[in-house]
Amino acid sequence: MIKLLKSSIEWLGRWVMSITPALGRFTLYAISNFQWFFRPPVRKRLFFEQMVFMGNKSLFIVFLTSSFSGAVFAYQIYLGFTAFSVDSFVGPIVAIAVVKELAPVFTGLVVAGRCGAAMAAQIGSMKVTEQIDALEVMGVNSIQYLGVPRVFATVVTMPMLTGVFMLVANAGSWLVGVKLLGIDEAIYFAKLGDFMNLNMLVEGLIKAAVFGYLISIIGTYQGFAVKGGAEGVGKGTNMAVVWGMIIVLIMDFFLTAILAKVLG
Amino acid sequence: MSYAIEFNHLTKRFGNHTVLDDLNFNIHEGKITTILGFSGAGKSTVLKHILGIYHPTEGQVKVLGQDMEKMNEGQIREFRTNFGMVFQYAALFDSMTNFENVAFPMKEFTNYTKEEIEEKAIGLMKQVGLDEFAFHKLPSEISGGMRKRVGLARALALQPKVMLYDEPTTGLDPITTHMVDDLITSTHNHNAHLPMTSVIISHDIAATLRISDYVAFLEKGKTVVHAPVEEFRKSDHPVIKKFIELST
């Protein structure tokens, strides 16, 4: 028993020892990225390129995810609520869930899977082929050139994509609830008006921006941290996706608690 | 004779491992110097000290009379525009065309107009013998030798005072190796008015003997010999004799 306890403590100690330097490096990277955001030159072209990459090319996946999520959520709620003759609440229940939770979280998961991975892979492959060294030798700061535009573009784009998710998911819900299952349209919208408020939208969009920051800062860091060759790029990409998704889900809880206090 | 780069008792340790041990030699301005040695001799570490990427554990490195240890980050970045670097595998930005790669340093660091940049970039690509069809292709669409030419044109974009070549002929066939050697010599001579100092990190003895003015031979982080190429060729130091013997 004592032996097991001792080995468990040793394992925990080793784990803490191994994770601490990485956490330190990540923190230093995040600070550096933040500092370089305010230093010239402003790279508008790179920022817009990244916005197009994140936004435009994620739009279809977000559209697909949101339409079916809204539709299936509305259907499930209807099945449960109709037994108690409260199916008129389908609209607001779906809308609240989508706007406050589903839209930022699902969009975050989509962006982490698609863009977080791409960031790590792009920067990682530049690292292993010495392209980042080439930038540095020329006197160009690689964090400012590669990291800052990606992070800024994701922070700006995530709320936009989340907004699209909110709209399309609610459209899916309306389509299923009103057109397919026969909920009265006037009641559907009246209930929406009764239960929805602007703070819910603000909460969803703030979450989206925070998730965007976390996904991109993790994605770019994993790219810069790549070691070795193609295997290293693969590991970095994998870590970017895994940590990006985990952090979205964990932070969602804390943000919900914080924003509930702030926004009421 | 003035020196472009001075190593004054340079020592570099990583933990308990000493990579460079009291390195003490100077690189002549306007000449081609090759730093030669077996793998793990510390050649790349020397290069990273020249660029100010590594910091000496002891001693000092002066480049163009300046000690980068006394500069802040911004000054180091600005100072690095004095360097041109040709990487082992060219390290071209794969999302840009070859033309954009060459134009990149000028866009970043000069106030040239778009037309001036275009004219200078095309001039540089022609200077290194790049075929016109390759100008607007991606680096992935051209051969290794062509990529080396683009890398060289990019390195020359800001008219550097110090050109650094990291293993420029590693992995190339003999014909391309000769082409790269000729390119290094012609680039050096073409820019002799700057004057340009060329430093080559290599373990290619044949190329070294063909194109270098001076050779510094490193072994286990120490300078075994630093001498003009003819003197190096005649060296009776057992390690150098063995190196030449094994290489040929």
Indicate the CATH number of B29-52+78-247 among 3.40.1160.10, 3.40.50.720, 3.40.50.300, 3.40.50.1100. 3.40.50.300
Tell me the mean pLDDT in the region B226-246: 86
Partner residue opposite A130 with nearest CB, options B81, B89, B105: B89
Taking the CA of residue B15 and the nearest CA in chain A, the distance in Å comes to 16
What pairs with residue B65 in β-bridges?
none
Share above pLDDT 90 across residues of chain B, in percent, rounded to a whole number:
57
Is residue B247 scored above 80 in pLDDT? Answer: no
Is residue B172 scored above 80 in pLDDT? Answer: no
Contact A131 B81 (CB under 8 A): no
Instruction: Tell which of B78, B79, B87 to mutate to test the A interface (max A CBs under 10 Å).
Output: B87
pLDDT in tens, B96-154: 999 999 999 999 999 999 999 999 999 999 988 888 999 999 999 998 889 989 999 99
Would you say B109 and B81 are in contact if contact means Cβ atoms under 8 Å apart?
A: yes
Is residue B171 scored above 80 in pLDDT? Answer: no
Q: What is the pLDDT of residue B245?
A: 79
Grade residue B248 by pLDDT with cuts at 50, 70 and 90.
low
Q: What does the domain layout of chain B look like in residue ranges? A: 29-52+78-247
Is residue B56 scored above 90 in pLDDT? Answer: yes
Q: What is the pLDDT of residue B37?
A: 87
Q: What is the pLDDT of residue B193?
A: 76
Q: What is the pLDDT of residue B203?
A: 84
Residue A29: how many CB atoms within 10 A of its CB?
18
Grade residue B1 by pLDDT with cuts at 50, 70 and 90.
low
Assembly ipTM? 0.86
Is residue B243 scored above 70 in pLDDT? Answer: yes
Q: What is the pLDDT of residue B180?
A: 83
What pairs with residue B166 in β-bridges?
B201
Q: How far apart are CA B12 and CA B19, in angstroms?
A: 6
- What sign results for the dihedral spanned by CA atoms B55, B59, B65, B66? positive
Tell me the mean pLDDT in the region B23-32: 92
Q: What is the pLDDT of residue B238?
A: 86
Contact A137 B80 (CB under 8 A): yes
Residue A47: how many CB atoms within 10 A of its CB?
17
Tell me the mean pLDDT in the region B212-234: 90
Q: With left for phi above 0 and alpha for psi between -120 and 50, is residue B24 left, alpha or beta? A: beta
Residue of B nearest to A140 (CA): B77
Would you say A251 and A212 are in contact if contact means Cβ atoms under 8 Å apart?
A: no
Share above pLDDT 70 across residues of chain B, in percent, rounded to a whole number:
99
**Weakly modelled stretches of chain A, pLDDT under 70:** none
Q: Which residue has the higher pLDDT, B220 or A117?
A: A117
Q: How far apart are CA A79 and CA A222, in angstroms?
A: 44
Tell me the mean pLDDT in the region B222-236: 89
Determine whether A20 is exposed, middle or buried from the number of CB atoms within 10 Å of its CB (0-12, 13-18, 19+). Answer: exposed
Contact A133 B109 (CB under 8 A): no
Is residue B21 scored above 70 in pLDDT? Answer: yes
Contact B93 A134 (CB under 8 A): yes
Taking the CA of residue A138 and the nearest CA in chain B, the distance in Å comes to 6
Residue among A136, A150, A131 nearest A219 (CA): A150
Residue among B204, B188, B106, B114 nearest B152 (CA): B188
